[in-house]
Chains A and B, each alone.
Chain A
Amino acid sequence: MIGRLEGLKSYLLPQFLIDRDDYRCIRCEVCARQCAFEVHWYDEEEDAVFADESKCVGCLRCATLCPTNALVVRHNPTQHPPNANWTREVLQNIYKQSETGGVLLTGMGCDTDYPIYWDRIVLDASQVTNPSIDPLREPMELRTYLGAKPDALKVGRKGGKPSLETRITPQLKLETPIMFSAISYGAISYNACESLARAAAEAGTYYNTGEGGLHRNLYKYGEHTICQVASGRFGVHADYLEVAAALEIKIGQGAKPGIGGHLPGEKVSAEISRTRMIPKGTDALSPAPHHDIYSIEDLAQLIYALKEATHWSKPVSVKIAAVHNSAAIASGMVRAGADIIVLDGIRGGTGAAPTMIRDNVGIPIELALAAVDDRLRQEGIRNRASIVVAGGIRSSADVVKAIALGADAVYIGTAALVALGCHVCQKCYTGKCNWGIATQDPYLSKRLNPEVGARRLVNLLRAWSHEIMEMLGGMGINAIESLRGNRLRLRGVGLTREELDILGIKHAGA
């Protein structure tokens, strides 16, 4: 009795309507060729272009590429009976599930309107005293080192010159405190991966392989690559561990805390199979936990296994989803030997996650970051690991606020994909991304030229970095280091006492 209903009229309404201005339309059929969801088609007999709006996902590829701007894609204005409880989304979800018997699936980060604390925090600037600095004229330091820092530095003398006696453990050197989040080859196309790798190398930062292994052609960007080791251990072998600049143990992901992942077999193409080192067409299952990690002690075991396997030559990072007791977990992670800890908030993106998990599990990154930074400081171990935050960093202002709240650097995922053309339609899991990003279809993925993609990403980092310098200069600060954890430069607007306490900031005016 369970199973997809076939051949019956669906109760689902089209999410979008497409208005085609017939006077502007020149029948060039670009829309028909560009849409992998097969919304548009040209009818020769009628010499007209038609659309099946029920298939439209609102990615705007057609409207963007239409040479005469003949297309307007808009939200379907049809209204369900007004009801604050049984909203359109709720009803449509139930129709969909009653027709398929399936778990609701979605892509990208949580789109529900939990408070975005970045937008309730404002930055300080110098006025009269402590003069502001113009980064166009004066030196400004964004360079960031990620990794464990010693409790103290011992400086001795060697041959009459001062020399550092303390041995510093391996560090990642970033020219700007922004890295590209873990996105696997499989979730995104090879061209998207190459764009990220080339951009990271050119901008002096890092990108992260996610858990899909590393394509052979991208080994040359190893010095700018963070290789992930996740519960599925896909593509994890000696070369992969050796080529990486750092290794990251993925425990959790903001979009789907507590659950594993499935790359469906139809996406495991010949190339993906080579990179993940699994047979073609097999489901790639990532178990929810690492089955060798059931405790902090076990986590320590894997951290040191990776260090031992790579001769203690690179930092090891551990990534968790931001959840209720992140602060205590983070303390354990640092004590377990993580050199970098990554917190991924509830708005963190994904190629595919059950909608209910994405939208209901986890906590906003701002609160998790503040709580973790506080806890590590209170315990006197903040120096032992760098903090990287991810999950909803949308602009340079978000980066500056994150660093002032206590982060060492940020990961951007969605923002990077948007730079590559993503329109956040949230249909990554279909594998039909018309922008050539979240797809393995060669016809679609060639739409993203890695050279152009890398330039767009480098441009984004350059623009954000300059904006960060401007904001730092405005505060009279000339190094990002001086802003780290400097919460006095932040004020809350319209936040409750409790929120301010957790964020560790004063209200504006105070």
Chain B
Amino acid sequence: MKIDVDHHAGLPGVFMRVDGRVKINARHLHYRELNNMIKGAASEGVEEIVVENVFGQRYIGSGIRRPVRIVIHGVPGNDLGAFMDGPRITVDRNAQDGVGNTMNSGLIVVHGRAGDIVAMGMRGGRIFIRDGVGYRAAIHMKEYRKLRPVLVIGGDTQDFLGEYMAGGLVIVLGLKGGKGKRSRFRARHIGTGMHGGLIFLRGEIEEHQLGKEAVAVPATQEDKELIRPFVEEYAGYFAADAASIMGSDFLKIYARSHRPFGGLYAY
């Protein structure tokens, strides 16, 4: 599909080409104008798009199918990277709800916290959130063949983490203020309706915090090798101490069955 580069593209101060990169000043831009510019630049084959003064514009990264780098200065709006297929997004501050909604591939790195339903229905790619996230993170995350989504959360999460989770890997580090200190994990209904995938939690939880479809066991050394590359990647983005994180105990949470409702019906 051909994308028309918006008329703003020629306006000085709004859309600029700097050293082979594109720089967009998002101040006062409607998301539709902003995304039109980003898509236009991406379709021209630009490698990096820096967007400044982002203030709640939604759907950034949606509808782009190239591995273009998008650097966001400011707070992007809901559904950052929804249905995304390729771009690599960095956010220098917090993100809002729906980060990586139904995302297929690409990378999102948030230097702050994110709101509810991070990685909802995510099928591929990686998301790194430096701090905590809201409710229902990784809800209905799934995996398919080579596609295996990874969500790493540096802080903690609210309730219903991994609800309906069908695949993929979620790692919750429980770091407070980036200092590597363990915190008690308070979310309830973890893994409710879970029927696939794995959640690794650094820290401890009580039995009642777990959904009845999920099982939690201490992670073995072998289990931890599975998450090491992603913890190291997290540490690389946010200057955390990977060795000390990996030195602590993790819980591995998995689905009791991949057929949670198999016996529910009268045939």
Contacts and interface: CB of A to CB of B under 8 A. Distances in A.
Interface of A: 96-97, 99-105, 231-233, 236-238, 241-242, 262, 264-265, 273, 277-279, 281-283, 285, 287, 291-292, 301, 304-306, 308-313, 429-430
Contacts of A231: 140
B261 A311 contact: no
B262 A102 contact: no
B266 interface: yes
A102 B136 contact: no
27 contacts: A102-B264, A102-B267, A103-B265, A104-B265, A105-B266, A236-B102, A237-B83, A237-B104, A277-B123, A277-B144, A279-B196, A279-B258, A281-B258, A282-B195, A282-B258, A283-B261, A285-B261, A287-B140, A287-B164, A291-B120, A301-B98, A305-B59, A305-B62, A308-B59, A308-B62, A309-B62, A311-B1
A231 B102 CA distance: 11
B193 A305 contact: no
Given A102-B266, A238-B83, A287-B164, 18 more contacts: A101-B266, A236-B102, A236-B121, A237-B104, A238-B65, A241-B83, A264-B259, A277-B147, A279-B144, A279-B166, A282-B196, A282-B259, A285-B140, A291-B117, A292-B97, A305-B83, A308-B58, A308-B82
B139 interface: yes
Contacts of A282: 166, 195-196, 258-259
A278 B142 contact: yes
Interface string B24-62: 000000011001000100000000000000000011001
Contacts of B59: 304-305, 308-309
The B interface, classified by DSSP as helix, strand, loop or mixed, is loop
A103 B264 contact: yes
B90 interface: no
Contact of A291 (B83, B136, B167): B136
B167 A279 contact: yes
Contacts of A101: 266
Contacts of B167: 278-279
A267 to B, nearest CB: 11
B3 interface: yes
A420 B17 CA distance: 59
Given A278-B166, A309-B62, A311-B39, A291 B196 contact: no
B159 interface: no
Given A265-B258, A308-B59, A233 B1 contact: no
A81 to B, nearest CB: 24
Contact of B82 (A105, A278, A305): A305
A285 B58 contact: no
A262 B78 CA distance: 29
Most chain B Cβ neighbours within 10 Å, of A105, A232, A305, A308: A308
Contact of B166 (A100, A285, A308): A285
B93 to A, nearest CB: 21
B85 interface: yes
A277 B168 CA distance: 13
B90 to A, nearest CB: 20
Contacts of A306: 83
A231 B78 CA distance: 18
Given A237-B123, A241-B83, A305 B58 contact: yes
A100 B195 CA distance: 23
Contacts of B79: 292, 301, 305
Contact of A278 (B1, B139, B144): B144
A118 B123 CA distance: 44
Interface string B95-118: 001100110100000000000010
Contact of B260 (A283, A301, A310): A283
Contacts of B143: 279
B140 A265 contact: no
B180 interface: no
A215 to B, nearest CB: 15
A177 B167 CA distance: 41
A216 to B, nearest CB: 14
A37 B177 CA distance: 62
Contacts of B123: 237, 277
A231 B62 CA distance: 19
A238 B85 contact: yes
Contacts of B164: 285, 287
A273 to B, nearest CB: 8
Nearest to A277: B144
* 8 closest cross-chain pairs (CB), A and B: A102-B266, A233-B121, A100-B266, A277-B144, A308-B59, A238-B85, A309-B83, A309-B63
B247 interface: no
B195 A311 contact: no
Most chain A Cβ neighbours within 10 Å, of B83, B101, B143: B83
B263 interface: yes
Contacts of A242: 1
Interface string B240-267: 0000000000000000001111111111
A283 B259 contact: yes
B18 to A, nearest CB: 26
Nearest to B263: A102
A220 B59 CA distance: 29
A501 to B, nearest CB: 41
Contacts of A309: 59, 62-63, 82-83
B140 A237 contact: no
Given A265-B262, A304-B58, A292 B117 contact: yes
A213 to B, nearest CB: 11
Contact of B267 (A105, A278, A291, A311): A105
Most chain A Cβ neighbours within 10 Å, of B58, B82, B193: B82
Most chain A Cβ neighbours within 10 Å, of B1, B143, B193, B267: B267
B62 A233 contact: no
A292 B63 CA distance: 19
B144 A265 contact: no
B173 to A, nearest CB: 24
Nearest to B60: A308
Contacts of B267: 100, 102, 105, 429-430
Contacts of A241: 83
Contacts of B58: 301, 304-305, 308
A232 B120 CA distance: 10
Interface in B56-93: 58-59, 62-63, 65, 78-79, 82-83, 85
A291 B139 contact: yes
B199 to A, nearest CB: 17
A282 B166 CA distance: 8
Contacts of B1: 242, 311, 313
A311 B2 CA distance: 9
